[in-house]
Amino acid sequence: MEYKIVEYGCLNEYQRKQAVELFMEGFGHMMTFSKDGALKRKLFLEIFHPSLFKCYVEDEKVLGLMGIATSEVRPLKFSYDVCIKYFGKFKGAILSKQMNAIFQKPVVKSKEELYIDVLVTGSEARRKGVGTALLNYAFGLKEYDIYFLEVFSNNQEAISIYEKNGFIVDKREKLSPMRFLGAGYPIRMRKSSAK
C-alpha cells in the first residue's frame, strides 16, 4: 500500500478527527484535566500544531501520528482562548497555564536536536511499519543530528521498536511521580544521526 506523511494542518476535517482519535487512544489516559472525552477531542482538534504534527496517511485514513518538538516550540499548545472556549473563563485559564507549563517546557537545548513528543499508531496498524515510517521521516529532516523521545518502562514493545531504530537509553527517571499512573517510569532515549 502507498502511504504519505502529511502535516496535520493539511488534513481534511475527517482526517483531523482521526488524528485526534489516535492521540486519545495513545495518550488520552494521561489527559486527566477532564473526564469529558468529547470536550477533550474538540480541544485537541484546535490545539495541535499544524506543521509539527505529522500523520501517516494510507488510503485517506490516518493510521499514525507523530508530534515533534524543537528547541523553540512543541506541538501541543493549550491556547488560552481555546481553553476558555471549551472550559469557561476560570477553568480554561487555569488549564491553559498548567498544561503549557508542562507541554511548552523546552525538551531539547540546541537547534540540531529534535524531540519526538508524540508517536502513536492505531491498533489496526500496529506491527505494520507505521511507527518506523514516521521515525524515518523524522530522521530524514536534514537540520537535525540528535533525536530524543521518552517512553514508559512498562512499554517494552515500544522500547524494542525504538532500539531497532537506533535509540539507546539516555536517562531513567525512576523517581518520577508518573510511576503512580501504572505505566512505569519514564525512560529518555537518544539517537545520533549517521551523517
In the predicted model, is pLDDT for residue 2 greater than 60? yes
% pLDDT > 70, the chain: 94
- Write down all domains in the chain, each with its CATH number in brackets: 3-144 (3.40.630.30)
CB 111, CB 70: distance < 8 Å: yes
Instruction: State the pLDDT at residue 1.
Output: 66
31 φ, ψ (degrees, to nearest 5): -90, 75
Question: Are β-strands 53-58 and 113-121 bridged in parallel, bridged antiparallel, or unpaired?
Answer: unpaired
Q: What's the rounded Cα separation, in Å, for the pair 120 and 65?
A: 5
> 89-143, pLDDT tens digit by residue?
999 999 999 999 999 999 999 999 999 999 999 888 778 889 999 999 999 998 9
